[in-house]
Structure 1
Amino acid sequence: MFKLDSVVSGQWLAGQLTHSNLVIVDCRFRLGNPDWGYEQYLTRHIQGAYYLNLDSDLSSPVTQHGGRHPLPDLSLFAEKLAGMGITLGETLVVAYDDLRLAFAARFWWLLRYLGHEQVAVLDGGWTAWENQGYPTSNVIPEAKLGQFVPQPCHDWIVDMEGVKHRKIQPQTRLIDSRDGDRYRGEIEPIDPIAGHIPGAINSPWKQVTDEQGYILPVTAQQGLWETCSTAEEIIVYCGSGVTACVNLLSMELAGIHGAKLYPGGWSDWCSYLV
């Protein structure tokens, strides 16, 4: 079977648009305007693409704890995937957004977490696709019939208690993926408390791409994680388990496998402090 790389180019995707075993997913989103991405999708999207919303599709409802974007209900999410024609382990899936992979990487990680490795993100995202003149449309594709029975890798995630007990272990490296000013507690635009989890080091997710949203070379990805080379366990978090997935993608490209996600992130951690 053809093995899909974790990152694909616009040129490659443009040549595959008529492939019967390909599903494209538009993940554009804005935290301050949850409807914005779908409105953009209705206006224009990559030809044949479906749309998934970070809040309502890639996450479950917010509760007192668990963070601002808890992982989605697996059965409901699986139904949505099947309705787009995705069959576990078989369908080639490509996700894109227009914010340096912030949301496409969340989808990429979710599918792999559920046992589907045939998933990639689009290098350069929507902006590059549009600028290069590749096919776009405002037509919403019809529902399809796939078969998706989740096979979650439960050891890929860590909850608050797990982080609390394991972050003090010398063989564990805890990575905060947020911008440096949020990590240092100089600003906090979203959560009620500023700062970071004690013991965490900072590696901002935006270092993975350039300002145009293109993935930096593999050597650059490897350079980001030199300090993790001796770690036996790596746990990655951000504000709410979204942009941390960009760093997890980077680690995969750098040849570092098995890093774990703390999905609740800082928003979950600080919910126990207020």
Structure 2
Amino acid sequence: MGSILSVEQVRKLQETKEVQFVDCRFNLQEPLEGREQFKEAHLPGAIYFDLENDLSKEADSIGGRHPFPDKEVFVHKLEQYGITRETTLIAYDNPKSPIASRFFWLMKVLGHKEVYILDGGFRAWESMGYPTTNKLPKQEASSYEVDLQHDWVATQEEVRSSIENLDVAIVDARNFERYAGWKEPIDKKTGHIPSAANYEWTKVFNTQGFWKGKRELQDLFSPLNEMESFIVYCGSGVTAAPLAVSLREANFPEVKLYVGSWSDWISNDRNPVHVIPDA
């Protein structure tokens, strides 16, 4: 079983074990929207994790716009919700699932085994007529044992040392205009990390917002077949997560997420950037 589960696969899984749904809906333009949606309706028993309050720590001069949260703070929240290493977690979002993918990745960094992403998110579940609720679950506190997996995360130093390594693919998940340096609506510098290939993160989904199958993903990433490892980044480590998940789903080896991403990279004036001349 892969990391991406359809609604029917989740329903079948529920026949054999208890699952904990994790609602990760979030709108970068309207930060309170996801929490309000959760209050209105969510999957039964779901708990809510907020991108900026739970899945990130406050931005600083380094680390990018959405640094990973402090481990102790994040683990404490897991424990408040009664989550243990044995809990089967299913994260969901809106279609295309960038925040659910970030939650998935963060849990993998902590060493969690049973964590999945619901394909199509809340809308897919609702459209099939399965129940939702606005009731909040009652949870008993737990103890969570961390087993850090450093091979899921790349540091700025590792990215810098990989620029000229022909065995490492650095992959930029932003759209081509931002990658090329022709348009930058958020960050202070334009361009991309030298040697990075551009695979816009939305390309791993079909037109309905569902994840493409393994064979389609393997075809998409086929130009990278000879690479031995991968470092994926975006603007701030959010939309890169679905791309990193997709590379793992397609059985590519040693995929790491550069969490600080472009917003962290450009905070260091010593780091080189590359811009494609506008034709």
Same fold (TM over 0.5): yes
1:76 pairs with 2:73: yes
Gaps of 5+ in 2: 271-279
Question: Are 1:158 and 2:154 an aligned pair?
Answer: yes
Match of 1:44 in 2: 41
Contact 2:237 2:259 in 1 (8 A): yes
2:4 matched residue in structure 1: 7
Deviates more, 1:259-268 or 1:150-159: 150-159
Aligned equivalent of 1:130: 126
| Amino acid in the other structure paired with 2:74 | F
| RMSD between superposed Cα atoms in Å | 1.8
| CA distance in structure 2 between the aligned counterparts of 1:120 and 1:113, rounded to whole angstroms | 14
Report the equivalent of 2:204.
208
1:143 aligned residue? 139
Aligned to 1:91: 87
Task: Supply the distance in 1 between the matched residues of 2:126 and 2:241 (Cα, whole angstroms).
Answer: 24
Q: Which residue matches 1:113?
A: 109
Paired residues of 2:229 and 2:253 also in contact (CA < 8 A): no
Q: Match for 2:226 among 227, 230, 237?
A: 230
Instruction: Measure how far apart 1:187 and its partner are.
Output: 1.6
The answer to whether the Cα contact below 8 Å between 1:125 and 1:213 also exists between their aligned partners in 2 is no
2:231 is paired with a residue whose SS is: strand
Task: Give the SS at the match of 1:82.
Answer: helix
Name stretches of at least 5 consecutive residues in structure 1 with no aligned partner.
Answer: none
**Aligned residue number for residue 31 of structure 2:** 34
**Is 205-214 or 40-49 further displaced after alignment?**
205-214
2:183 equivalent in structure 1: 187
- The counterpart of 2:254, out of the listed 258, 267, 274, is 258
Instruction: Tell whether the 8 Å contact from 1:113 to 1:156 is kept in structure 2 after alignment.
Output: yes
Paired AA for residue 107 in structure 1 = F
Residues 14 and 134, structure 1, Cα contact 8 Å, conserved in 2: no
Q: 2:21 corresponds to which residue? A: 24
Q: What code does the residue aligned with 1:194 have? A: T
Give the drift of 1:184: 1.4
Q: Secondary structure at the match of 2:267?
A: helix
Whether the 8 Å contact between 1:23 and 1:85 is mirrored in structure 2 is no
Q: Which amino acid letter does the alignment assign opposite residue 24 of structure 1?
A: F
Distance 1:18 1:173 in 2: 40
* Structure 2 Cα separation of the partners of residues 96 and 261 of structure 1: 20
Identity level (%): 40
Which 4+ stretches in 1 moved above 6 angstroms? none
Distance 1:140 1:15, change over 3 A: farther
Shift of 1:14: 3.7
Any conservation in 1 of the 2:2–2:249 contact (CA below 8 Å)?
A: no
Aligned pair count reads 270
CA distance in 2, matches of 1:231, 1:17: 38
Q: Which moved more, 1:177-186 or 1:67-76?
A: 177-186
